[in-house]
Amino acid sequence: MAFPQTRPRRLRRTGALRGLVRETELRPGRLILPLFVAAGIEGSQPIAGMPGVERHSISAAVERAAEAQALGLPAVLLFGIPETKDPEGSGAWDDEGIVQLATRAIKQAVGDMLVICDLCLCEYTDHGHCGLLRDDGDVDNDATLELLARVAVSQARAGADIVAPSDMMDGRVGAIRAELDAEGLADTAILSYAAKSASAFYGPFREAAGSTPAFGDRHGYQMDPANGDEAVREALLDADEGADMVMVKPAGPCLDIIRRVKEATRLPLGAYQVSGEYAMIKAAAAAGALDERSAVLETLTGIRRAGADFVITYYAAEAAQWLR
């Protein structure tokens, strides 16, 4: 028998030994901070459902990006909240729109910080859905592709290093890649929300971004959380259409999908620890049910261990401080 010659506990005896053989690395350079940038506000405004997270003016977003860079974070992911909305979501491709202005300001002030722009229409449409609506109230997939491509070009011209389509329309990665290339923006990378479930964990985000649908839901275009094979197919389709990176969202409930998508695509893979995951930890910590720091670092390590190359998380700045 192997025992007592083989004793795994030998390598757990001290912190130095545990660190020497640790398999999964977690460091600030693997974390991305989402930022909500809102038109028509000054400074920052707290978001009730996400303690510690705020909506920012452009100047406040620049300050936050600079702080993130100082902590070793490589990128911010921008979500825009416009002053006005319309059925087409035209503010999303306005060259003077909130995300475009924030992108220019951050790139000018914090040049080495990567700017990723979330690419969707839901924050900009007055109905809250992710595309143009047909007369029957359903989202018109193919008509929406032209608008998404227009948004991508506007964001790239503003200085976005990466555009991240989150709409889940079929064919959108190919349409975006073709339009970027045609406009001389071939260096702009695409991070596709390839496997995005219609999750119960998005609630606080919808409050933060003002993107709750005015009617119905998004189950017709976001994925059924029960489907793993479909998630892999979605990711492979996006890879074939030209995605440079893929994303799985949400992260915690989809650790198996993170592993499967990584193995299937071999592309750089991000996972989004979404608003509901963040809010749950915050609430449990506030109730004294768990240690916040330990819980956050454990969940982020688990996401990395599952196969994510980087994690988008509202805890990015705090985690970076703890890790340093």
Q: Tens digit of pLDDT for each residue in 153-185? A: 999 999 999 999 999 999 999 999 999 999 999
- Which band of pLDDT confidence, cut at 50, 70 and 90, is reported for residue 2? confident
Active-site residue 262, yes or no? no
Per-residue confidence (pLDDT) for residue 216, from 0 to 100: 80
Residue 18 forms part of a structural domain: no
Position 272 pLDDT exceeds 80? yes
pLDDT at 209: 79
- Higher-pLDDT residue of 324 and 29 is 29
Write the pLDDT tens digit of every residue in 122-143: 999 999 899 999 999 899 999 9
Q: Which residue has the higher pLDDT, 203 or 319?
A: 319
pLDDT in the model for residue 1: 65
Residue 76 domain-assigned (yes or no):
yes
The answer, yes or no, to whether residue 111 has pLDDT greater than 90, is no
- Per the structure block, which two tokens stand in for 210? 């003002």
Residues 6 or more apart whose Cβ sits within 8 Å of residue 176: 119, 148, 149, 152, 163, 165, 190
Lowest mean pLDDT among 93-97, 122-126, 211-215, 222-226: 211-215
* Helix/strand/coil for 198: coil
- The SS3 call for residue 220 is coil
Rounded CA separation 17/12 (Å)? 6
Examine residue 46 and say whether the peptide bond preceding it is cis (omega within 30 degrees of 0).
no
Spatial separation of the C-alpha atoms in residues 318 and 313, rounded to whole Å: 10
Residue 304 maps to which CATH number? 3.20.20.70
pLDDT at 208 (0 to 100): 84
Residue 307 maps to a domain = yes
CB 43 within 8 A of CB 2: no
284 and 276 Cβ atoms separated by less than 8 Å: no
Choosing from 85, 107, 249, 282, the catalytic residue is 249
1 within some domain: no
Using pLDDT thresholds of 50, 70 and 90, give the confidence band for residue 211: confident
Return the beta strands (E) in the chain as ranges.
31-38, 44-46, 54-56, 75-81, 114-119, 162-165, 189-196, 245-249, 269-273, 310-313
pLDDT value at 23 more than 90: yes
Mean pLDDT of 212-216: 83
Residue of higher predicted confidence among 2 and 25: 25
Q: How many domains does the chain have?
A: 1
Residue 249 annotated to the active site: yes
Query: Mean pLDDT, to the nearest integer, of 313-320?
Result: 98
H helix or E strand, kind and range, residue 175: helix 172-182
For residue 197, what are the domain limits? 27-323
Instruction: Determine the 3-state secondary structure of 81 from DSSP.
Output: strand
Cα(209)–Cα(207) distance, integer angstroms:
6
Catalytic position from the list 85, 107, 196, 282: 196
Residue 20 maps to a domain:
no
Parallel, antiparallel, or unpaired for β 310-313 and 269-273?
parallel
Q: What is the pLDDT of residue 82?
A: 95
* Structure tokens, 135: 């007369």
d(CA 319, CA 300): 9
What average pLDDT is seen over the chain?
96
The least confident of 197-206, 209-218, 237-246 is 209-218
- Residue found by looking up tokens 């889940």 in the block: 168
- Determine, yes or no, domain membership for 17: no
Identify whether 255 is part of a domain.
yes
Residue 217 lies in a domain: yes
261 confidence band (pLDDT: 50, 70, 90)? very high
Q: How many residues does the chain have?
A: 324
